[in-house]
Amino acid sequence: MTSNKYKLGALIRHEDRRNEDGLFAVADVKGISIQKHFIETKADMKGVSLTPYKLVVPDSFVYVTITSRNGEKITLAHNNSANTYIVSSSYEVFSVERKDLLDSEYLFMFFNRPEFDRYARFNSWGSAREAFSWEEMCDIDIALPPLEVQQKYVNIYKAMIANQQCYERGLDDLKLTIDAQIDEIKNTADRIHTGALLEEVDNRNTDGEISNVQGININKQFMPSVANTNGVDLRKYKIVKNGQFAYSGMQTGRDECIRIALYNGDDPIIISPAYTVMQVKGAPILPEYIMMWFSRKESDRKGWFMSDGSIRSNLDLDRFYETEIPIPDSSVQKALVDLFSVYEMRKSINDKLKNQIKSICPVLIRGSLQDGGESCG
Protein backbone atom coordinates (compact mmCIF):
# COMPACT_ATOMS: atom_id res chain seq x y z
CA MET A 1 0.00 0.00 0.00
CA THR A 2 1.18 3.52 -0.74
CA SER A 3 0.13 7.03 0.15
CA ASN A 4 -0.68 9.69 -2.42
CA LYS A 5 -0.41 13.47 -2.22
CA TYR A 6 -3.21 15.83 -3.17
CA LYS A 7 -4.17 19.46 -2.96
CA LEU A 8 -6.90 19.68 -0.36
CA GLY A 9 -8.97 21.79 -2.74
CA ALA A 10 -9.30 18.77 -5.03
CA LEU A 11 -10.90 16.77 -2.23
CA ILE A 12 -13.29 19.22 -0.57
CA ARG A 13 -16.28 21.29 -1.70
CA HIS A 14 -17.19 24.84 -0.67
CA GLU A 15 -20.70 25.08 0.82
CA ASP A 16 -22.85 28.21 0.87
CA ARG A 17 -26.37 27.15 1.79
CA ARG A 18 -28.23 29.85 3.72
CA ASN A 19 -31.10 29.84 6.19
CA GLU A 20 -33.25 31.60 3.61
CA ASP A 21 -36.47 29.76 4.49
CA GLY A 22 -36.00 30.49 8.20
CA LEU A 23 -36.21 26.84 9.24
CA PHE A 24 -33.46 27.28 11.83
CA ALA A 25 -33.77 29.53 14.88
CA VAL A 26 -31.54 31.09 17.55
CA ALA A 27 -31.27 27.73 19.32
CA ASP A 28 -29.46 26.39 16.24
CA VAL A 29 -26.86 29.18 16.12
CA LYS A 30 -23.37 28.01 17.05
CA GLY A 31 -19.97 29.55 17.57
CA ILE A 32 -16.61 27.79 17.38
CA SER A 33 -13.85 27.61 19.97
CA ILE A 34 -10.09 27.52 19.38
CA GLN A 35 -10.29 23.99 20.85
CA LYS A 36 -12.03 23.11 17.56
CA HIS A 37 -15.53 22.30 18.71
CA PHE A 38 -18.92 23.99 18.50
CA ILE A 39 -20.05 26.19 21.40
CA GLU A 40 -23.15 28.16 22.19
CA THR A 41 -22.92 31.58 20.57
CA LYS A 42 -21.91 34.51 22.77
CA ALA A 43 -23.30 37.07 20.34
CA ASP A 44 -26.35 39.16 21.20
CA MET A 45 -28.92 37.72 18.81
CA LYS A 46 -31.73 40.12 19.70
CA GLY A 47 -33.19 41.53 16.49
CA VAL A 48 -30.62 39.75 14.28
CA SER A 49 -31.91 38.31 11.01
CA LEU A 50 -30.93 34.64 10.70
CA THR A 51 -31.70 34.31 6.98
CA PRO A 52 -28.10 35.10 5.87
CA TYR A 53 -26.66 32.54 8.29
CA LYS A 54 -24.90 29.57 6.73
CA LEU A 55 -26.00 25.98 7.22
CA VAL A 56 -23.53 23.48 8.65
CA VAL A 57 -25.12 20.13 7.86
CA PRO A 58 -23.94 16.85 9.43
CA ASP A 59 -20.44 15.76 8.37
CA SER A 60 -19.41 19.22 7.17
CA PHE A 61 -16.72 21.59 8.41
CA VAL A 62 -16.69 25.28 9.29
CA TYR A 63 -13.83 27.64 10.10
CA VAL A 64 -13.18 31.29 10.89
CA THR A 65 -10.77 32.88 8.46
CA ILE A 66 -9.47 35.51 10.93
CA THR A 67 -6.44 34.12 12.79
CA SER A 68 -4.91 37.23 14.40
CA ARG A 69 -5.19 37.47 18.20
CA ASN A 70 -6.47 33.90 18.26
CA GLY A 71 -3.98 32.12 20.50
CA GLU A 72 -1.92 31.05 17.46
CA LYS A 73 -4.71 28.66 16.50
CA ILE A 74 -7.28 28.46 13.73
CA THR A 75 -10.92 28.26 14.84
CA LEU A 76 -12.42 25.25 13.12
CA ALA A 77 -14.98 22.52 13.85
CA HIS A 78 -16.44 19.37 12.31
CA ASN A 79 -20.16 18.68 12.65
CA ASN A 80 -20.15 15.00 13.58
CA SER A 81 -23.68 15.19 15.00
CA ALA A 82 -27.00 14.39 13.36
CA ASN A 83 -28.12 18.03 13.67
CA THR A 84 -27.78 20.95 11.30
CA TYR A 85 -26.35 24.14 12.82
CA ILE A 86 -26.27 27.69 11.49
CA VAL A 87 -23.25 29.99 11.75
CA SER A 88 -22.31 33.55 10.90
CA SER A 89 -22.17 34.38 7.20
CA SER A 90 -18.52 35.40 7.67
CA TYR A 91 -17.52 31.78 8.35
CA GLU A 92 -16.38 29.36 5.64
CA VAL A 93 -18.27 26.06 5.37
CA PHE A 94 -17.09 23.05 3.39
CA SER A 95 -17.43 19.28 3.14
CA VAL A 96 -15.44 16.34 1.79
CA GLU A 97 -16.34 15.75 -1.86
CA ARG A 98 -13.97 12.88 -2.66
CA LYS A 99 -15.15 10.44 -0.03
CA ASP A 100 -13.59 7.67 -2.08
CA LEU A 101 -10.21 9.15 -1.13
CA LEU A 102 -10.66 11.04 2.14
CA ASP A 103 -12.52 10.20 5.36
CA SER A 104 -14.02 13.26 7.09
CA GLU A 105 -12.91 12.14 10.56
CA TYR A 106 -9.40 11.59 9.23
CA LEU A 107 -9.38 15.14 7.88
CA PHE A 108 -10.47 16.44 11.28
CA MET A 109 -7.53 14.59 12.85
CA PHE A 110 -5.32 16.34 10.31
CA PHE A 111 -6.76 19.72 11.35
CA ASN A 112 -6.31 18.96 15.05
CA ARG A 113 -2.53 18.87 14.81
CA PRO A 114 -0.43 21.80 16.06
CA GLU A 115 1.35 21.64 12.71
CA PHE A 116 -1.83 22.69 10.96
CA ASP A 117 -2.35 25.63 13.33
CA ARG A 118 1.19 26.80 12.65
CA TYR A 119 0.70 26.38 8.89
CA ALA A 120 -2.55 28.37 8.95
CA ARG A 121 -0.98 31.20 10.97
CA PHE A 122 2.10 31.33 8.72
CA ASN A 123 -0.08 31.49 5.61
CA SER A 124 -2.48 34.11 6.98
CA TRP A 125 -2.34 37.49 5.30
CA GLY A 126 -3.55 40.98 6.06
CA SER A 127 -2.57 44.17 7.85
CA ALA A 128 -4.93 44.98 10.70
CA ARG A 129 -6.55 41.50 10.71
CA GLU A 130 -4.71 38.49 9.31
CA ALA A 131 -6.84 35.84 7.60
CA PHE A 132 -6.41 32.29 6.34
CA SER A 133 -8.44 32.45 3.14
CA TRP A 134 -10.43 29.72 1.42
CA GLU A 135 -7.85 29.79 -1.39
CA GLU A 136 -5.07 29.09 1.12
CA MET A 137 -7.11 26.24 2.61
CA CYS A 138 -7.50 24.68 -0.83
CA ASP A 139 -3.76 25.03 -1.49
CA ILE A 140 -2.81 22.72 1.40
CA ASP A 141 -0.82 19.64 0.42
CA ILE A 142 -2.12 16.48 2.10
CA ALA A 143 -0.74 12.94 1.90
CA LEU A 144 -3.39 10.22 2.13
CA PRO A 145 -3.06 6.52 2.85
CA PRO A 146 -5.79 4.23 1.51
CA LEU A 147 -9.26 4.62 3.00
CA GLU A 148 -9.04 1.37 4.98
CA VAL A 149 -5.88 2.65 6.68
CA GLN A 150 -7.51 6.01 7.39
CA GLN A 151 -10.47 4.21 8.95
CA LYS A 152 -8.19 2.08 11.12
CA TYR A 153 -6.62 5.16 12.72
CA VAL A 154 -9.92 7.03 12.90
CA ASN A 155 -11.30 4.10 14.90
CA ILE A 156 -8.44 4.45 17.39
CA TYR A 157 -9.12 8.18 17.66
CA LYS A 158 -12.87 7.71 18.14
CA ALA A 159 -12.35 5.02 20.79
CA MET A 160 -10.19 7.44 22.79
CA ILE A 161 -12.85 10.16 22.48
CA ALA A 162 -15.59 7.73 23.56
CA ASN A 163 -13.63 6.82 26.69
CA GLN A 164 -13.03 10.48 27.52
CA GLN A 165 -16.69 11.37 27.00
CA CYS A 166 -17.78 8.48 29.24
CA TYR A 167 -15.48 9.82 31.94
CA GLU A 168 -16.87 13.32 31.40
CA ARG A 169 -20.47 12.13 31.83
CA GLY A 170 -19.52 10.78 35.25
CA LEU A 171 -17.96 14.15 35.99
CA ASP A 172 -21.21 15.89 35.04
CA ASP A 173 -23.19 13.61 37.36
CA LEU A 174 -20.85 14.48 40.23
CA LYS A 175 -21.27 18.20 39.48
CA LEU A 176 -25.06 17.83 39.60
CA THR A 177 -24.76 16.24 43.04
CA ILE A 178 -22.62 19.12 44.30
CA ASP A 179 -24.96 21.72 42.81
CA ALA A 180 -27.98 20.07 44.45
CA GLN A 181 -26.30 20.18 47.86
CA ILE A 182 -25.28 23.81 47.38
CA ASP A 183 -28.86 24.73 46.42
CA GLU A 184 -30.09 23.13 49.62
CA ILE A 185 -27.52 25.05 51.67
CA LYS A 186 -28.49 28.32 49.98
CA ASN A 187 -32.06 27.84 51.12
CA THR A 188 -31.40 26.63 54.66
CA ALA A 189 -28.11 28.02 56.03
CA ASP A 190 -27.60 31.50 57.48
CA ARG A 191 -25.81 33.95 55.18
CA ILE A 192 -22.80 35.90 56.45
CA HIS A 193 -21.01 38.78 54.74
CA THR A 194 -17.56 37.87 53.43
CA GLY A 195 -16.16 40.82 55.37
CA ALA A 196 -17.19 39.09 58.62
CA LEU A 197 -15.34 35.93 57.60
CA LEU A 198 -12.08 37.23 56.16
CA GLU A 199 -9.49 39.73 57.34
CA GLU A 200 -6.72 41.43 55.40
CA VAL A 201 -3.08 40.42 55.98
CA ASP A 202 -0.19 42.64 54.84
CA ASN A 203 3.17 40.93 55.37
CA ARG A 204 5.87 42.20 53.03
CA ASN A 205 8.96 40.50 51.64
CA THR A 206 11.13 43.07 53.44
CA ASP A 207 14.22 40.86 53.68
CA GLY A 208 13.94 39.88 50.01
CA GLU A 209 14.34 36.18 50.79
CA ILE A 210 11.33 35.03 48.72
CA SER A 211 11.73 35.23 44.94
CA ASN A 212 8.81 33.03 43.83
CA VAL A 213 6.51 35.66 42.27
CA GLN A 214 3.02 34.40 41.45
CA GLY A 215 -0.17 35.74 39.90
CA ILE A 216 -3.75 34.47 39.62
CA ASN A 217 -5.33 33.15 36.43
CA ILE A 218 -9.01 33.17 35.46
CA ASN A 219 -9.31 29.59 36.72
CA LYS A 220 -8.65 30.92 40.23
CA GLN A 221 -5.28 29.24 40.48
CA PHE A 222 -1.85 30.60 41.35
CA MET A 223 0.59 30.64 38.46
CA PRO A 224 4.09 32.01 37.84
CA SER A 225 3.80 35.74 37.19
CA VAL A 226 3.96 36.80 33.54
CA ALA A 227 5.07 40.32 34.53
CA ASN A 228 8.63 41.42 33.86
CA THR A 229 10.17 41.72 37.33
CA ASN A 230 13.67 42.62 36.17
CA GLY A 231 14.79 45.56 38.26
CA VAL A 232 11.61 45.41 40.38
CA ASP A 233 12.03 45.76 44.15
CA LEU A 234 10.54 42.48 45.40
CA ARG A 235 10.84 43.65 49.01
CA LYS A 236 7.56 45.54 48.50
CA TYR A 237 5.73 42.40 47.38
CA LYS A 238 3.19 40.75 49.66
CA ILE A 239 3.72 37.31 51.20
CA VAL A 240 1.09 34.59 50.84
CA LYS A 241 1.24 31.58 53.15
CA ASN A 242 -0.58 28.26 53.22
CA GLY A 243 -4.31 28.70 53.85
CA GLN A 244 -4.34 32.38 52.81
CA PHE A 245 -6.20 33.97 49.89
CA ALA A 246 -4.97 36.40 47.26
CA TYR A 247 -7.55 38.67 45.69
CA SER A 248 -7.61 41.16 42.83
CA GLY A 249 -10.58 43.45 42.29
CA MET A 250 -9.71 44.09 38.64
CA GLN A 251 -11.87 42.32 36.09
CA THR A 252 -12.28 42.58 32.33
CA GLY A 253 -15.25 42.07 30.08
CA ARG A 254 -13.66 38.89 28.75
CA ASP A 255 -12.92 37.26 32.09
CA GLU A 256 -16.10 38.11 34.03
CA CYS A 257 -14.82 36.25 37.10
CA ILE A 258 -13.88 37.01 40.66
CA ARG A 259 -10.08 36.87 40.72
CA ILE A 260 -9.38 34.97 43.92
CA ALA A 261 -7.19 31.97 44.80
CA LEU A 262 -6.43 29.93 47.91
CA TYR A 263 -2.77 29.04 48.44
CA ASN A 264 -2.08 25.49 49.56
CA GLY A 265 1.68 25.25 49.02
CA ASP A 266 4.22 24.55 51.73
CA ASP A 267 6.63 27.39 50.99
CA PRO A 268 5.42 31.02 51.04
CA ILE A 269 5.15 32.91 47.76
CA ILE A 270 4.99 36.61 46.93
CA ILE A 271 2.48 38.54 44.83
CA SER A 272 2.16 42.06 43.51
CA PRO A 273 1.43 44.78 46.09
CA ALA A 274 -1.71 45.50 44.04
CA TYR A 275 -3.26 42.26 45.33
CA THR A 276 -5.01 41.85 48.68
CA VAL A 277 -4.01 38.96 50.94
CA MET A 278 -6.71 37.62 53.28
CA GLN A 279 -7.22 34.84 55.78
CA VAL A 280 -10.12 33.40 57.77
CA LYS A 281 -10.76 35.48 60.89
CA GLY A 282 -11.19 32.45 63.09
CA ALA A 283 -14.87 31.91 62.44
CA PRO A 284 -16.05 28.29 62.19
CA ILE A 285 -15.54 28.13 58.45
CA LEU A 286 -13.09 26.24 56.27
CA PRO A 287 -11.04 28.34 53.82
CA GLU A 288 -11.59 25.56 51.27
CA TYR A 289 -15.35 26.05 51.64
CA ILE A 290 -14.98 29.78 50.88
CA MET A 291 -12.83 28.96 47.85
CA MET A 292 -15.41 26.42 46.67
CA TRP A 293 -18.16 29.03 46.97
CA PHE A 294 -16.27 31.57 44.86
CA SER A 295 -15.37 28.91 42.28
CA ARG A 296 -19.00 28.79 41.16
CA LYS A 297 -20.14 30.54 37.98
CA GLU A 298 -23.03 32.00 39.94
CA SER A 299 -20.55 33.79 42.23
CA ASP A 300 -18.70 35.11 39.18
CA ARG A 301 -21.92 36.48 37.69
CA LYS A 302 -22.77 38.13 40.99
CA GLY A 303 -19.29 39.65 41.24
CA TRP A 304 -19.50 40.95 37.68
CA PHE A 305 -22.90 42.50 38.40
CA MET A 306 -21.50 44.26 41.48
CA SER A 307 -18.42 45.58 39.66
CA ASP A 308 -17.94 49.25 38.83
CA GLY A 309 -16.00 50.87 36.02
CA SER A 310 -16.13 51.43 32.29
CA ILE A 311 -13.11 50.10 30.37
CA ARG A 312 -11.71 48.04 33.24
CA SER A 313 -14.32 46.94 35.73
CA ASN A 314 -13.41 46.57 39.39
CA LEU A 315 -14.97 44.68 42.26
CA ASP A 316 -13.46 46.81 45.01
CA LEU A 317 -12.60 45.16 48.30
CA ASP A 318 -15.48 46.88 50.11
CA ARG A 319 -17.96 45.56 47.55
CA PHE A 320 -16.38 42.11 47.72
CA TYR A 321 -16.83 42.11 51.49
CA GLU A 322 -20.54 42.78 50.91
CA THR A 323 -21.03 39.45 49.15
CA GLU A 324 -22.78 36.85 51.27
CA ILE A 325 -21.94 33.19 51.84
CA PRO A 326 -24.36 30.65 53.38
CA ILE A 327 -22.56 28.90 56.25
CA PRO A 328 -23.68 25.39 57.24
CA ASP A 329 -22.16 23.56 60.19
CA SER A 330 -18.54 22.40 59.94
CA SER A 331 -19.37 18.75 59.19
CA VAL A 332 -21.47 19.76 56.16
CA GLN A 333 -18.72 22.13 55.02
CA LYS A 334 -16.13 19.37 55.18
CA ALA A 335 -18.31 16.85 53.37
CA LEU A 336 -19.01 19.33 50.57
CA VAL A 337 -15.35 20.40 50.34
CA ASP A 338 -14.26 16.75 50.09
CA LEU A 339 -16.78 16.15 47.32
CA PHE A 340 -15.69 19.31 45.50
CA SER A 341 -12.02 18.25 45.81
CA VAL A 342 -12.84 14.95 44.12
CA TYR A 343 -14.66 16.84 41.37
CA GLU A 344 -11.71 19.19 40.82
CA MET A 345 -9.27 16.27 40.69
CA ARG A 346 -11.40 14.41 38.16
CA LYS A 347 -11.93 17.57 36.15
CA SER A 348 -8.15 17.97 35.95
CA ILE A 349 -7.82 14.37 34.78
CA ASN A 350 -10.51 14.98 32.15
CA ASP A 351 -8.68 18.06 30.87
CA LYS A 352 -5.49 16.03 30.62
CA LEU A 353 -7.34 13.31 28.69
CA LYS A 354 -8.59 15.92 26.22
CA ASN A 355 -5.08 17.30 25.76
CA GLN A 356 -3.69 13.80 25.29
CA ILE A 357 -6.27 13.05 22.61
CA LYS A 358 -5.37 16.26 20.79
CA SER A 359 -1.64 15.56 21.11
CA ILE A 360 -2.11 12.02 19.77
CA CYS A 361 -3.44 13.31 16.42
CA PRO A 362 0.03 13.96 14.92
CA VAL A 363 1.10 10.48 16.04
CA LEU A 364 -1.94 8.88 14.44
CA ILE A 365 -1.45 10.77 11.18
CA ARG A 366 2.22 9.75 11.03
CA GLY A 367 1.31 6.17 11.87
CA SER A 368 -1.31 6.03 9.13
CA LEU A 369 1.16 7.32 6.56
CA GLN A 370 3.78 4.79 7.61
CA ASP A 371 1.10 2.09 7.52
CA GLY A 372 0.19 3.30 4.04
CA GLY A 373 3.78 2.91 2.87
CA GLU A 374 4.90 6.56 3.09
CA SER A 375 8.14 7.39 4.88
CA CYS A 376 7.53 10.24 7.31
CA GLY A 377 11.16 11.28 7.25
Number of C-beta neighbours around residue 34 at 10 A:
15
DSSP string, 298-330: HHHHHHHHH-B-SSS-B--HHHHHH-EEEE--H
4-144 CATH fold: Adenine-n6-DNA-methyltransferase TaqI; Chain A, domain 2 (3.90.220)
Cα 52 to Cα 90: distance, rounded to the nearest angstrom: 10
Cα 50 to Cα 26: distance, rounded to the nearest angstrom: 8
Architecture of domain 190-327: Alpha-Beta Complex (3.90)
The residue-averaged pLDDT of 94-104 equals 97
**What dihedral do alpha carbons 73, 107, 5, 132 form, nearest 10°?**
-30
pLDDT of 376 higher than 60: no
SS3 101: coil
pLDDT of 250 higher than 80: no
pLDDT of 302 higher than 80: no
Residue 70 CB contacts under 8 Å (≥ 6 apart), including other chains: 34, 64
Angle, vertex CA 237, rays to CA 236 and CA 238, nearest 5:
120
Cα 22 to Cα 14: distance, rounded to the nearest angstrom: 22
Q: Do 190-327 and 4-144 fall under one CATH topology? A: yes
The residue-averaged pLDDT of 47-73 equals 91
Using a pLDDT cut of 70, give the percent of the chain over it. 93
pLDDT of 280 higher than 60: yes
> With bands split at pLDDT 50, 70 and 90, how would you rate the model's confidence at 3?
low
Contact of 61 with 76, CB cutoff 8 Å: yes
Cα 67 to Cα 133: distance, rounded to the nearest angstrom: 10
pLDDT at 296: 86
pLDDT of 22 higher than 90: yes
pLDDT at 377: 33
Taking only the tens place, the pLDDT of each residue in 157-170 is 999 999 998 999 99
Domain residues of the chain, as ranges?
4-144, 146-169+334-377, 190-327
Cα 66 to Cα 56: distance, rounded to the nearest angstrom: 19
Cα 187 to Cα 328: distance, rounded to the nearest angstrom: 11
The one-letter code for the residue type at 179 is D
Number of C-beta neighbours around residue 312 at 10 A:
10
> With bands split at pLDDT 50, 70 and 90, how would you rate the model's confidence at 308?
low
Taking only the tens place, the pLDDT of each residue in 78-98 is 999 999 999 999 999 999 999
